Amino acid sequence: MTITELMPFSVLVPLIASLVCALLPGRFWPWAVTLAAAIASAIIAALTLPAAAQTTLSYAFGNWPPPIGIEYRVDAANAFVALLVAGMAAITLPWAKKSVDKEVPERQGTFYALFLLALAGLLGITLSGDAFNIFVFLEISSLATYGLIAYGSDRRALLASFRYLIMGTVGATFLLIGIGFLYVMTGTLNLHDLSERLPEVRDTSTVRAALAFIIVGMGLKLAMLPLHLWLPNAYTYAPSFVTVFLAGTATKVALYVMLRFVFTVFAPDWSFVVLPLSTVLMILGVAGMFAGSWVAMFQPNIKRMLAYSSVAQVGYMVLGVSLVSVVGLTAAFLHLFNHALMKAALFMAVGTVIYQVGSARIEQFRGLGRTMPWTLTAFALAGLSIIGVPLTAGFISKWYLIQAALDQGQWVLVALILITSLMAIIYIWRVIEAAWFKQREPDQQAVGEAPLTLLIPTWVLVALNFYFGIDTRLTVGGATAAAEALLSGGLLP
């Protein structure tokens, strides 16, 4: 079996495992099957990356030759994102067992089945080379995500899920309209075929409208600043494990789809000229960085604070894209990868606190630095990464972002990036201050350190944050290859 023939199984394994999970009773077996499927998927994705970096892989479903049949077409950009998604699932699942047992005591078979569907959907989006297929996988993962969010124990989780459903469906339908316009103009849905046929017809208002619809639709899924309203509530009230996984993957995959359309389907020398895309994305990115960081500084709920911080981090990625250079796109892909690592570590630390204390409000963090030193140290170290302290993964992506801005002589952007990093210090510091410099109130229950099954995965992610801050061969190499693949038109054989 060659790697090309193995590649689609990174989507099929979670899909088939979700069917098994839906029927499994109890608490252990659904989790075990999910973990096995996620690890298998991650291994396949890891094997795909080196092969895809050298040459574009293509797998035709049912042996119908593309562009008539549906194909999976994988280059460095897809493989990088797919490895991130599958890897995050495999790393966070060992942590999930205890947390999910506490927060979702019943019907875990369905819970894990939904999780696997979301995973399969996200991987399907990244690997597929067919525009309509991307829409279907997007809806599979989104519908599973709405269900997962509604599992949250607070009744506001239902509202968060419903509002996400409304906005997410509008976003996905916008993508469908865009794809429809492209199909009407070219008669094809294959991304590679689209990129070849579009230049003949692209100076029409239909194609321009398609570009606008796709950007707005994906902006909704990506939580780009004015379209981010669903994100804070969804992240706050979802079960901790769902938040960890979504924060690491869902918005990243949406960003990938947007990049794939803007750079591969519409060539960047057209899409950045016909619309003032560079200016718009730059303004929205900077506004997202500021608004997200600013609101995060005043949140009493730490989960919500980190959710707003996610809006800010999406801003960094969008800013990297708006610079339209190899370094800028590399910075976007690097931040996409590194942000998944650091935000998952932070949410896992907060989830561990929720497991012990029962709430993520800032008052509950008082004095925890002494009673739960390992958990809170993990939070502080992952916080260093989000601030961008040297030797952490966060520093690497910000370093590349600043370089990309300097290449174009944008000194103002450099200053803005530094200012928002200072804002990150403030909101991370609030937690550290509460944990180490305040005493626990007498009426608050005293808690001990969290169990090792929660601590070890958290520390593994924290360690990864530092590892990828020092040894950058995989991340920078992968991100540069991904950026070059997109800028060279991508998907080319």
Which residues make up the interface to another protein (CB under 8 A)? 5, 8, 12, 15-16, 19-20, 22-23, 59-63, 132, 135-136, 139, 143, 146-147, 150, 154-156, 158-159, 161-162, 165-166, 169-170, 173, 176-177, 180, 183-184, 189, 300-301, 304, 361
For another protein, the closer of residues 194 and 340 by Cβ is 194
Please report where in the chains the tokens 């500084």 appear, as a residue. Answer: 297
For another protein, the closer of residues 184 and 273 by Cβ is 184
Least distance between another protein and beta carbon 140 (Å): 8
Give the Cα separation of 150 and 158 in Å (integer).
5
Least distance between another protein and beta carbon 58 (Å): 11
Least distance between another protein and beta carbon 352 (Å): 21
Give the Cα separation of 261 and 267 in Å (integer).
9
Q: Of 1, 2, 3, give the one whose Cα is nearest residue 50.
A: 3
Least distance between another protein and beta carbon 480 (Å): 32
For another protein, the closer of residues 120 and 483 by Cβ is 120
For another protein, the closer of residues 62 and 448 by Cβ is 62
Q: Output the CA angle 16-22-85, nearest 5 degrees.
A: 55
Strands 71-74 and 57-60: antiparallel
Least distance between another protein and beta carbon 361 (Å): 8
Q: State how far the alpha carbon of 256 is from the alpha carbons of 84, 184, 366, 396, in Å.
A: 12, 24, 39, 20
Least distance between another protein and beta carbon 307 (Å): 13
For another protein, the closer of residues 109 and 469 by Cβ is 109
CB-based contacts of 52: which residues, under 8 Å, 6+ apart?
74, 75, 76, 78, 79
Burial class (CB within 10 angstroms; exposed 0-12, middle 13-18, buried 19+) of 393: buried
Give the Cα separation of 224 and 315 in Å (integer).
7
For another protein, the closer of residues 145 and 330 by Cβ is 145
Give the Cα separation of 166 and 234 in Å (integer).
12
Burial class (CB within 10 angstroms; exposed 0-12, middle 13-18, buried 19+) of 36: middle
Least distance between another protein and beta carbon 177 (Å): 6
For another protein, the closer of residues 138 and 416 by Cβ is 138
Q: State how far the alpha carbon of 90 is from the alpha carbons of 38, 116, 362, 462, in Å.
A: 5, 11, 30, 15
For another protein, the closer of residues 68 and 419 by Cβ is 68
Least distance between another protein and beta carbon 63 (Å): 4
Q: Of 463, 461, 424, 474, give the one whose Cα is nearest residue 344.
A: 461
Least distance between another protein and beta carbon 292 (Å): 18
Q: Of 377, 277, 285, 375, give the one whose Cα is nearest residue 335.
A: 285
Give the Cα separation of 380 and 389 in Å (integer).
12
Least distance between another protein and beta carbon 15 (Å): 7
Give the Cα separation of 266 and 384 in Å (integer).
38
Least distance between another protein and beta carbon 165 (Å): 5
For another protein, the closer of residues 71 and 457 by Cβ is 71
For another protein, the closer of residues 23 and 492 by Cβ is 23
Burial class (CB within 10 angstroms; exposed 0-12, middle 13-18, buried 19+) of 23: exposed
Q: What is the maximum alpha-carbon separation in the chain?
A: 73
For another protein, the closer of residues 22 and 474 by Cβ is 22
Give the Cα separation of 209 and 276 in Å (integer).
14
For another protein, the closer of residues 81 and 165 by Cβ is 165
Phi-psi region of 490 (alpha: psi -120 to 50; beta: other; left: phi over 0): left
Least distance between another protein and beta carbon 146 (Å): 5
Using DSSP's 3-state secondary structure scheme, residue 130 falls into: strand
